[in-house]
Amino acid sequence: MVPKIIDSDEYRNIISVPIEGIQDFEEKEGNNGKKYHNLFSDNRFKTLLIPEKSLQRRIHNLAQSIVKKGEKVDKYEFLIVLTGAFIFGADLGREIYKICGIDVIFHTVKLSTYQGEIKGKGELSRQVKFELEPLDIENRDIIIVEDIIDQGFTLNALREYLINNKKVKSVKICTLLLKNLDNPSQEVIQSRKNIESYLDFVGFTVPDIWVAGYGIDASNDFRSLPFIIGVDEKFYLSN
């Protein structure tokens, strides 16, 4: 598969990632570099979606967008959705500091819906449970930092909770990935429509395959990878 080449100007906007993946314009080895070789023989691996350099370039531009929209702030307050967004949140916070010298305060929240499973297509809903609630965020301007928006049930529940229960001053949402769903149920369509109306910052859109890497796991696999891959659904469904 031939990846889509991304030039420097394209990193300023949301990048649409095809199933073949993307490749940075300066990546001389392409997506066949040594860092990826072990994956090609791994039967859990399907495709390299977003290489490391492309991730870091886009995250830098996301940080610039956040700083531009928050010109008068003296601090940023991130609510990191655990566990998947912890690497993204840390890198994003560091980029913000490099750009403007303003500190980022990190809060965390953990919710569960999958219960160790990878979601199924065409689902009607998912029950959302809070496993770790954020502390001391009342009357704060909060930026939710999420790894990936899939069906949207979790993020909708979190946003409503922050506004109605925690009485935060404002909520913005920053997600690294936004998944383009194939054949979603009407309930999922409504959930996605609702949450997308509130999205402030999006890194990439990705196809409707199971993804992993850069903090995101596939049944606890691949979380430590410094890039984003697609995994083989059949492997996980049969094990």
The catalytic residues are: 150
184-219 burial: b if 16+ Cβ within 10 Å, else e: beebbeebbeebeeebebbbbebbebbbbbbbbbbb
Phi, psi of 169 (to 5 degrees): -70, -45
